[in-house]
Amino acid sequence: MNPENVAAIKNRFLELFVFRRPAQDERDLELCDCFNRKHFIVGTHQRALDLLEKYQPGDFHGPALYAYVISALGKNASLVEEVTSDQEHYMRIHRLAAKYNV
């Protein structure tokens, strides 16, 4: 195993519930690459936008929670555009910044 991956596992745990085992050939694991931070950012970007659009500022315990997410969305918008070729998320981030007064 890659020492970087071992260190990451030692520093954090990911808990999840799998409803059904996916149809995946175990030999595919030999061909796969390591899941990294960029994969997580691109994979959760759309969901974060959707959640912030769905809720209002008063639905959060404090402004730091949504401000942090909106800041991270803006910071990583160019990465998402590079991977998805979608420019609409920039407009969505700006609308959210105005909605949440960030």
Instruction: Please tell me the total number of residues recorded for the chain in this structure.
Output: 102
Distances in whole angstroms, Cα of residue 20 to Cα of each of 30, 80, 102: 22, 29, 40
3-state helix, strand, coil in the chain (%, to 5): 65, 0, 35
**pTM passes above 0.85:** no
pLDDT tens for 51-93 read 999 999 999 988 988 999 999 999 999 999 988 888 888 999 9
Question: Can you tell me the mean pLDDT for 1-12?
Answer: 70
pLDDT tens for 10-48 read 666 666 677 787 777 878 777 777 778 888 999 999 999
Residue 16's pLDDT is 66
Residue 56's pLDDT is 95
CB 93 within 8 A of CB 49: yes
